[in-house]
Structure 1
Amino acid sequence: MAELADHLLAIERALRVAGLWSSEPPSPQALASEQPFCIDTLTFEQWLQWVLLPRMKVLLEKNLPLPSASGVTEMAEVVWATRADSLVGVMRALQDFDRLLAAHARRSL
């Protein structure tokens, strides 16, 4: 679990280095979207920062069950298809996160 928490920090760090970290949170209405990845109200990087990272931190802190799969890397590949070369650090952090979640799920079986 500590390794997964470290990877959440790695995602944050990679987003900051890439200039994709925002100091201003989205509106409560934007965060309330019911669409996957809040695709209708947030950019993907906003979703990572304001939805995925906080939710995963809560799951880890409260020792709640983790998702068995993520799919975050696949979404990033679609959303950032034309920018993938400039976002290598973020992509690597997301890939590591997906791998760790999958490995955790396998151990939990």
Structure 2
Amino acid sequence: MSQHQQVSALLIEIRSEMQNIGLWQQQPPAPEALASTQPFCVDTLDFNEWVQWLLLPRLEMMIQQQLPLPQNSEIVPMAEEVFKQMREDTRHLIALIGQLDMQLRVHH
């Protein structure tokens, strides 16, 4: 299985897990919130919004267009910090994001 296929499968799992634990939103944030230049858009978005509306679509687009994927993914420390404060059981979601980090680093 190629790196693109492995990452694509992980993105589907992350989306599914976010839906399962109630972190998936139906309404997108305002366009100006998505245009933040801060890491993870911390000034305008919740972390799970950043994952849903920016990270997943960006990686999906790169996979569809067969573009090189990012090489230095460090998402899991932020995920652990944010998700541990939530009521939802986010352990599986954090594990999936950790796998995504590893997948993006493994081929370089």
Tell me, yes or no, whether TM beats 0.5. yes
Contact 1:11 1:94 in 2 (8 A): yes
Q: Residues 92-103 of structure 1 correspond to what in structure 2 (within 5 A)?
A: 92-103=95-106
Gaps of 5+ in 2: none
Per the alignment, residue 60 of structure 1 pairs with 63
Structure 2 residue corresponding to 1:31, chosen from 34, 42, 63: 34
- Matched residues, number: 105
Structure 1 residue corresponding to 2:46, chosen from 31, 43, 47: 43
Q: TM-score, normalised by structure 1?
A: 0.90
Stretches of 4+ aligned residues off by more than 6 angstroms:
none
Q: TM-score, normalised by structure 2?
A: 0.90
CA distance in 1, matches of 2:16, 2:27: 17
CA distance in 2, matches of 1:14, 1:86: 10
Q: What is the identity, as a one-letter code, of the residue corresponding to 2:77?
A: E
More helix by share: 1
Per the alignment, residue 88 of structure 1 pairs with 91
